[in-house]
A and B are shown apart, each in its own frame.
Chain A
Amino acid sequence: MEIRTLPPQGAATRKRPWRRLRRVVALPLAALALSGCTVPSFGASQGVTTSSRSVFHLWQGFSIAAAIIGVFVLLLILWAVLAYRRKGDRIPKQSQYHIPLELAYTVVPILIVFGLFAATLVVENKEVANPATKVTINVNAFQWGWKFSYPGSNAFVVGQTTQDPVMVMPVDTNVHINLTSTDVIHGFYVKEFNFSRFALPGVKNQFTFRAVNTGTFFGQCTQLCGLYHSLMYFKVKVVSVSDYQKWLASFSDNTAAQNQQNVTNQQTSTGVPSKPTSSSGAN
């Protein structure tokens, strides 16, 4: 049995990267301190419905967790890469296991995951809850357009590809949506609602929105549905309750042809959409 002792680690080689590391950690911390206490948006936005706001907060929570974990792991990688560059033909200690450490990096992530799951459940239950609603809108997706109809009234709006049909809904009201498709699968997506749902043939998907701001918002089909998928836009116009009633009443004694006329007027009078207007379309 032969025992060989390796020369001690040079202190200098360990110090240099540590100083570098301190600088790397200090900068973002200082930046965070200077920016005040507002939680950054991490690229997302609040949106205009009650659930879009809770989704946004969930997003922030996940992002903070991801940023902490990501920066920590990246620093570990950076440290390893800088500190343990090959400096000669020395063969390092052949250590292979460290059970406490391995347990730690198994158990801590499990705890984090259950924390994230708990937060997910809270927001999810809020989002899929079915509160009492006064307004129902039937949304029917088809190749390549949308039809919004309002049960209990004559009102409906229909539009294809570049026509951008407008879904009118009242603010501060629970609005129940019944989403269907007549042909293939489409995706009902309104960016400002932080929400999307498939329109499935043969299935009625139901969900509820409660908008907190008025305005016109951009929506479009997110699920590939054939040739003109990229032109399948719509708009959501959130108006005050009285304006909504007026709009609904304007359909009451009109013929279908006038309805269409109304739709066109609505479109020209919606004003500037908050997000991009539709493209004129190629080909």
Chain B
Amino acid sequence: MTDVLERPVDAHVPDDHGHDEHHGPTGILKWLTTTDHKVIGLSYTVTAVIMLVIGGLFAEIIRGQLTTPNGSLVSLAQYNELFTMHGSVMIYLFAGPFAFGALANFVVPIQIGAPDMAYPRLNALSYWLYLTGSITMLSGFFTAGGAANFGWVGYAPLSNSLNTPGSGADLWIGGLLLTGFSAIFTGVNLSATIFYLRAPGMTMFRMPIFTWNLLVTAILILLAFPVLTAGLIMLYCDRHFGTHIFSVAGGGVPVLWQHIFWFWGHPEVYILALPFFGMVTEIIPVFSKKPVFGYKGMIFATISIAALSLGVWAHHMFTTGVVLLPFFSIMSLLIAVPTGIKIFNWIGTMWRGEIWFSTAMLMSIGFVVTFLIGGLTGIYLASPPLDFFTHDTYFVVAHFHSVVMALVLGGMAGLYYWGPKITGYLLNETIGKFQFWLLFLGTQVFTFPQYLLGLQGMPRRMAVYPHDPQWQNLNIWSSIGAAMIGISTLLFVINIMVSWKKYPAGDNPWDAHTLEWFTTSPPPHHNFYRLPQIRSERPTWDYNHPEHLAIAHGEHATEPEKVTSA
């Protein structure tokens, strides 16, 4: 039943690797004391996937509640806790850490030929802050008042001590502060690593797109996260130390919280998205057997997305009536341009390629399609009149779930692609393909009814809704989609168990392009025994296929097919 991977396996374990053996602690002690970016990256990956499962379980309960208008699966209070913690877990504890902590931690140093991150101990601190922050936030469920229940955005004044007493909210703030510091430290670490630890020959414009995207992400983290941290401290002071920063009664301004939150929150959207863009930008070229189309255009698109993302925060606040609509509208609309460039580049990469539909590639194509849907519906929301019409309805919920489910598809692509490098073993491709189709179709079945529900006027965050057969039908379809997504996640867990140490991967199972595929799977302690010459963003490909180098700048596909070797 397995799809045997018939790629040539290039195993080159050198004979003299004894000198690099490390005899540190093993087992649990190794995991607790390590500063190795590969072990930390794996810890991040496992923790983030556990968070995905926890957040997913909350989502399934929410969808269960909404299958009937007067759902009685949970109470109104529990429902508010569930969607708050669903959003919080998914954004703060899964998507972010998975994006810049998990695969990035493992892959980025190897892609640039570095032995480790620039600050290995800071890297370990990042992970432990993330883990403790996650536990802190989730422990709200065990307090008397329950977990935080003011939505993942924690709008003031609902989040003050009068409207939300209880320690669940404080644990939410505390957990978010801890994971926020974890992110800031990772941002410092990634940018320092990428700027200072590149191997000889690895110039900035020879860095793989994934590394480029993580560099831009790291800089965005450094610009955005401290603002959130400051805002959280203000919120905590309002709750406990009698300040009135966000309360009208003391002369404060509730909307200030929204400005602070979204000044972090919109760059955060791209902090989440850019690493996943990077993942599929690694995967699509490899499985099309071509270099990424428009490499430099892709990098400039990434940089413009990041730059624009710092000036669009108030498009989340159009309906407050207190922001300058045209400015934030045009800035938000313009983000569609670099994002569109990326989509065309992905298509251009596949164009005239030889596409190998591995699970990683399928997930990546699923990502592009789902992201296209999420991107197009995002354009509506950048227009204030259309945002007035759809704000806080299920249309918005559907829009950002199209986007984040695209990221989940991209993340799964990344796991199927780099998993063999991390563990040395491939995952089962047949189960993987089932997982892909369930996840991809489930996502569409999940989001499309929500778009319609939003247009028909169903607001978000409703534990119960008016009796309307059409609303109920749409909600049931959405819940069916959510169940499909749940089953696909279960298939992933089953796949890990079924494939456990079964299909040895070899060093380069995908005939891939970048440096991590030049070393062993898993890589040795300091990543490399030797490095190839780095002459492009595809050093491993250039080494394996010296007669098939990328064709120089400006040549057109209509020319006769000649390949010139160096």
How far does the alpha carbon of A106 sit from the alpha carbon of B338 in the complex, in Å?
A: 8
Q: A95-B557, A185-B158, A276-B468 are in contact. Are A120 and B563 (CB under 8 A)?
A: no
What's the minimum C-beta distance from B130 to chain A, rounded to whole angstroms? 27
How far does the alpha carbon of A69 sit from the alpha carbon of B339 in the complex, in Å?
A: 13
Q: What are 28 A-B interface contacts by the 8 Å CB criterion?
A: A3-B564, A43-B451, A43-B455, A51-B385, A54-B385, A55-B385, A55-B388, A70-B372, A70-B376, A80-B355, A84-B351, A86-B356, A91-B354, A93-B551, A95-B550, A96-B293, A96-B553, A102-B294, A113-B330, A116-B379, A117-B326, A117-B330, A183-B157, A184-B155, A185-B158, A189-B393, A226-B158, A275-B468
- Residues of B523-558 at the interface with A, using a CB-CB cut-off of 8 Å, are 545, 547-551, 553-557
B464 interface residue per 8 A CB criterion = yes
Do the beta carbons of A201 and B389 come within 8 Å of each other?
Answer: no
Task: For A96, give its contact among B150, B294, B341 (CB under 8 Å).
Answer: B294
Q: A77-B365, A84-B354 are in contact. Are A92 and B289 (CB under 8 A)?
A: yes
A30 interface residue per 8 A CB criterion = no
What's the minimum C-beta distance from A39 to chain B, rounded to whole angstroms? 16
B461 interface residue per 8 A CB criterion = yes
Of the stretches A58-66, A129-137, A264-272, the one at the interface is A58-66
- Residues of B35-89 at the interface with A, using a CB-CB cut-off of 8 Å, are 69-72, 75-77, 80
- By a CB distance below 8 angstroms, the chain A residues around B227 are none
Task: For A226, give its contact among B163, B344, B563 (CB under 8 Å).
Answer: B163
How far does the alpha carbon of A100 sit from the alpha carbon of B443 in the complex, in Å?
A: 36
Q: Is the interface of A mostly helix, strand, loop or mixed?
A: mixed
Do the beta carbons of B388 and A127 come within 8 Å of each other?
Answer: yes
- By a CB distance below 8 angstroms, the chain B residues around A109 are 336-337, 340-341
A90 interface residue per 8 A CB criterion = yes
How far does the alpha carbon of A58 sit from the alpha carbon of B368 in the complex, in Å?
A: 27
Do the beta carbons of B321 and A106 come within 8 Å of each other?
Answer: no
How far does the alpha carbon of A109 sit from the alpha carbon of B463 in the complex, in Å?
A: 40
Do the beta carbons of A81 and B355 come within 8 Å of each other?
Answer: yes
Q: A95-B557, A96-B291, A279-B70 are in contact. Are A230 and B76 (CB under 8 A)?
A: yes
Do the beta carbons of B337 and A184 come within 8 Å of each other?
Answer: no
- By a CB distance below 8 angstroms, the chain B residues around A3 are 562-564
Do the beta carbons of B330 and A195 come within 8 Å of each other?
Answer: no
Do the beta carbons of B555 and A95 come within 8 Å of each other?
Answer: yes
Task: For A187, give its contact among B369, B384, B459 (CB under 8 Å).
Answer: B459
How far does the alpha carbon of A2 sit from the alpha carbon of B548 in the complex, in Å?
A: 12
How far does the alpha carbon of A106 sit from the alpha carbon of B294 in the complex, in Å?
A: 12
Of the stretches B14-22, B174-182, B247-255, B484-492, the one at the interface is B247-255
B380 interface residue per 8 A CB criterion = yes
> 14 extra interchain contacts, Cβ-Cβ under 8 A, other than A96-B550, A184-B155?
A76-B347, A80-B350, A81-B355, A85-B354, A91-B545, A95-B551, A96-B291, A102-B297, A187-B459, A196-B319, A200-B254, A225-B158, A230-B463, A275-B457
Do the beta carbons of A220 and B459 come within 8 Å of each other?
Answer: yes
What's the minimum C-beta distance from A35 to chain B, rounded to whole angstroms? 20
Q: A93-B557, A94-B548, A282-B72 are in contact. Are A183 and B564 (CB under 8 A)?
A: no
A11 interface residue per 8 A CB criterion = no
How far does the alpha carbon of A283 sit from the alpha carbon of B330 in the complex, in Å?
A: 44
Q: A127-B385, A187-B391, A189-B459 are in contact. Are A84 and B563 (CB under 8 A)?
A: no
What's the minimum C-beta distance from B340 to chain A, rounded to whole angstroms? 5
What's the minimum C-beta distance from A252 to chain B, rounded to whole angstroms? 33
Do the beta carbons of B461 and A191 come within 8 Å of each other?
Answer: no
B383 interface residue per 8 A CB criterion = yes
B128 interface residue per 8 A CB criterion = no
How far does the alpha carbon of A47 sit from the alpha carbon of B451 in the complex, in Å?
A: 18
A73 interface residue per 8 A CB criterion = yes
How far does the alpha carbon of A44 sit from the alpha carbon of B537 in the complex, in Å?
A: 47
- By a CB distance below 8 angstroms, the chain A residues around B329 are 117, 120, 124
What's the minimum C-beta distance from A175 to chain B, rounded to whole angstroms? 17
Do the beta carbons of B557 and A228 come within 8 Å of each other?
Answer: no
Which residues of B are interface residues toward A (Cβ below 8 A)? 69-72, 75-77, 80, 150-151, 155, 157-158, 163, 248, 253-255, 288-297, 319-322, 325-326, 329-330, 333-334, 336-337, 340-341, 343-344, 347-348, 350-357, 365, 368-369, 372-373, 376-377, 379-380, 383-386, 388-389, 391-393, 451-452, 455-457, 459-468, 471, 545, 547-551, 553-557, 560-565
A29 interface residue per 8 A CB criterion = no
Q: Please, how many residues of chain A have a CB less than 8 angstroms from a CB on the other chain?
A: 97
- Chain A, Cβ-Cβ closest to B253: A202
- By a CB distance below 8 angstroms, the chain A residues around B467 are 276-277, 279
Do the beta carbons of B254 and A202 come within 8 Å of each other?
Answer: yes
Do the beta carbons of B551 and A96 come within 8 Å of each other?
Answer: yes
- By a CB distance below 8 angstroms, the chain A residues around B549 are 94
Interface centre among B75, B325, B464, B557 (most CB of A within 10 A): B464
Do the beta carbons of A6 and B557 come within 8 Å of each other?
Answer: no
Q: A58-B386, A123-B385, A224-B80 are in contact. Are A187 and B392 (CB under 8 A)?
A: yes
- Chain B, Cβ-Cβ closest to A277: B466
A205 interface residue per 8 A CB criterion = yes
- By a CB distance below 8 angstroms, the chain A residues around B71 are 282
Interface centre among B293, B348, B456 (most CB of A within 10 A): B348
- Chain B, Cβ-Cβ closest to A91: B548
- By a CB distance below 8 angstroms, the chain A residues around B326 are 117, 121, 124
Do the beta carbons of A224 and B155 come within 8 Å of each other?
Answer: yes
- Residues of A191-218 at the interface with B, using a CB-CB cut-off of 8 Å, are 191, 194-198, 200-203, 205-207, 218
Do the beta carbons of A5 and B561 come within 8 Å of each other?
Answer: yes
How far does the alpha carbon of A76 sit from the alpha carbon of B345 in the complex, in Å?
A: 12
What's the minimum C-beta distance from A180 to chain B, rounded to whole angstroms? 11
Q: A43-B451, A77-B368 are in contact. Are A84 and B288 (CB under 8 A)?
A: yes
Do the beta carbons of A91 and B379 come within 8 Å of each other?
Answer: no
Interface 1/0s, chain A 18-48, versus B by CB < 8 A? 0000000000000000000000000111000
Task: For A230, give its contact among B291, B347, B465 (CB under 8 Å).
Answer: B465
Do the beta carbons of B461 and A224 come within 8 Å of each other?
Answer: yes
How far does the alpha carbon of A105 sit from the alpha carbon of B339 in the complex, in Å?
A: 11
Do the beta carbons of A195 and B388 come within 8 Å of each other?
Answer: yes
Do the beta carbons of B321 and A191 come within 8 Å of each other?
Answer: no
Do the beta carbons of A96 and B336 come within 8 Å of each other?
Answer: no
How far does the alpha carbon of A259 sit from the alpha carbon of B440 in the complex, in Å?
A: 56
A222 interface residue per 8 A CB criterion = yes
How far does the alpha carbon of A133 sit from the alpha carbon of B376 in the complex, in Å?
A: 37
Do the beta carbons of B376 and A69 come within 8 Å of each other?
Answer: yes
How far does the alpha carbon of A141 sit from the alpha carbon of B348 in the complex, in Å?
A: 52
Task: For B295, give its contact among A81, A88, A96, A220 (CB under 8 Å).
Answer: A96
How far does the alpha carbon of A207 sit from the alpha carbon of B320 in the complex, in Å?
A: 12
How far does the alpha carbon of A120 sit from the alpha carbon of B328 in the complex, in Å?
A: 12
Do the beta carbons of A81 and B293 come within 8 Å of each other?
Answer: no
A231 interface residue per 8 A CB criterion = yes
Do the beta carbons of B321 and A92 come within 8 Å of each other?
Answer: no
A12 interface residue per 8 A CB criterion = no
Do the beta carbons of A195 and B389 come within 8 Å of each other?
Answer: yes
Do the beta carbons of B350 and A81 come within 8 Å of each other?
Answer: yes
A10 interface residue per 8 A CB criterion = no
How far does the alpha carbon of A43 sit from the alpha carbon of B392 in the complex, in Å?
A: 17
